[in-house]
Amino acid sequence: MDTEKQVEKSEECDLKSKSSSKPNEHNEPKRAASEQEQRLKMKMSKIKHKVAIISGKGGVGKSTITVNLAIAFAMQGYTGRVGVLDADIHGPCVPKMLGLRGQKLVGGPAGMLFPVTGPLGIKVVSMDFLLPSDEAPVIWRGPLKMRVIQQFLSDITWGELAFLFIDLPPGTGDEPLSIMQLIPDMDGVVIVTIPSEVSQVVVKKAITFAKQLGVPIIGIIENMSGFVCPECGAKIDIFKVGGGKKIAEDSSVPYLGKIPIDPEICSDSDSGTPFIIEHSTSPTTKAFKEIVMKIEHFLENKKNIKRTHTTYVQ
């Protein structure tokens, strides 16, 4: 039965082979957990900067911003040293946006698993690479999602990276909480919103989430801000303008800038060619590059910022 297959799939996703373990040990589960924790620490210690991209509401462009951030940093002398973790287990979009649909995680000797390599040597890990087809949903509750995210971090051979960008699903539930727990030395979060008031209400929760978990907030990006008709030049505020800046001011967090609604972004995402490459001289790319500079500046100066505390909610 289909639903039973789904349950089985969760077992298949136990990425790390258990063949090397000794089954007759009494405290096997505890030891395995401790070993995984060690592997996770070791893997993450090889990645200099870790940045999560979060939002309150969905559909505000987190994945688009994540892949374009990765491309922007890879272009600045970090080819082959940038990674993207697509932590949206139910709706993974990163592979589609980087032209990597249909690819699978690559196996190596001794049960090693490698990310898929995308444009400019970007290393990508996504649930999408484990699914048999587009149609296959991941009908999982929180504990299974926590487990697979843990394995993405601990059991994938990410290698030495300068940057890991983590694309999180909307909200403040299992996936964002798991990531913040598993990476206590997260450099910070980039918060994405659209300017509408409805989105503002929800993005406030994302700000409090980061503050409560003691994760530095790099800043807020106002995405889908305004619209200029390409035919007549009229300014039409589809989702309004200024909401991201307002929320940044109200909440005393940095404002990184705004990115306009641009039909080219949608078609570039659909065709798997990030807009920063495909439309490298457009006003959208120009706006985006200014944001990238601010993020780079934050990361260069991050030694001044320490995570205040790392207590968590279960």
Q: Which stretch binds a copy of itself (CB under 8 A): 28-36, 42-50, 72-80, 128-136?
A: 128-136
CB of 143 to a copy of itself, least distance (A): 7
For a copy of itself, the binding residue among 11, 12, 160, 231 (CB under 8 A) is 231
- Exposure of 86 in the CB half-sphere (CA atoms within 13 A): 26
Q: Which is nearer to a copy of itself, 98 or 161 (CB)?
A: 98
Q: Which is nearer to a copy of itself, 63 or 68 (CB)?
A: 63
Q: Which is nearer to a copy of itself, 84 or 194 (CB)?
A: 194
* CA separation for the pair 196, 36 (Å, rounded): 42
Q: Are 78 and 296 in contact (CB under 8 A)?
A: no
For a copy of itself, the binding residue among 89, 100, 215, 217 (CB under 8 A) is 89
Q: Are 222 and 194 in contact (CB under 8 A)?
A: yes
Tokens 């505000």, located at residue: 60
For a copy of itself, the binding residue among 33, 112, 198, 305 (CB under 8 A) is 198
For a copy of itself, the binding residue among 16, 49, 81, 96 (CB under 8 A) is 96
Q: Are 177 and 150 in contact (CB under 8 A)?
A: no
Q: Is 238 in the site for a copy of itself (CB under 8 A)?
A: yes
Q: Are 15 and 113 in contact (CB under 8 A)?
A: yes
Cβ neighbours of residue 131 under 8 Å, at least 6 residues apart? Answer: 138
Q: Is 249 in the site for a copy of itself (CB under 8 A)?
A: no
- Rg of the chain on CA atoms, in Å: 20
Residues 271-300 that bind a copy of itself (CB under 8 A): none
Q: Is 207 in the site for a copy of itself (CB under 8 A)?
A: yes
Q: Which stretch binds a copy of itself (CB under 8 A): 43-51, 116-124, 156-164, 259-267?
A: 259-267
Residues 151-170 that bind a copy of itself (CB under 8 A): 169-170
Q: Which is nearer to a copy of itself, 79 or 310 (CB)?
A: 310
For a copy of itself, the binding residue among 47, 53, 72, 97 (CB under 8 A) is 97
CA distances from 79 to 75, 76, 114, 160, 288 (A): 6, 8, 17, 12, 19
Q: Are 190 and 256 in contact (CB under 8 A)?
A: yes
DSSP for residue 228: B
Q: Are 232 and 59 in contact (CB under 8 A)?
A: no
Q: Is 311 in the site for a copy of itself (CB under 8 A)?
A: yes
Q: Which is nearer to a copy of itself, 35 or 250 (CB)?
A: 250
Distance between alpha carbon 37 and the CA centroid of its chain, in Å? 21
Total number of residues that touch a copy of itself (CB under 8 A): 75
Q: Which stretch binds a copy of itself (CB under 8 A): 12-20, 24-32, 204-212, 283-291?
A: 204-212
CB of 101 to a copy of itself, least distance (A): 8
CB of 159 to a copy of itself, least distance (A): 28
Please state whether beta strands 123-126 and 161-167 pair in parallel, antiparallel, or not at all (unpaired).
Answer: unpaired
CB of 25 to a copy of itself, least distance (A): 28
Helix, coil or strand: residue 273: coil
Exposure letters 195-219 (e unless 16+ CB within 10 A, then b): bbeebbebbeebbebbeebbbbbbb
Q: Which is nearer to a copy of itself, 59 or 121 (CB)?
A: 59
* CA separation for the pair 218, 109 (Å, rounded): 38
CB of 131 to a copy of itself, least distance (A): 9
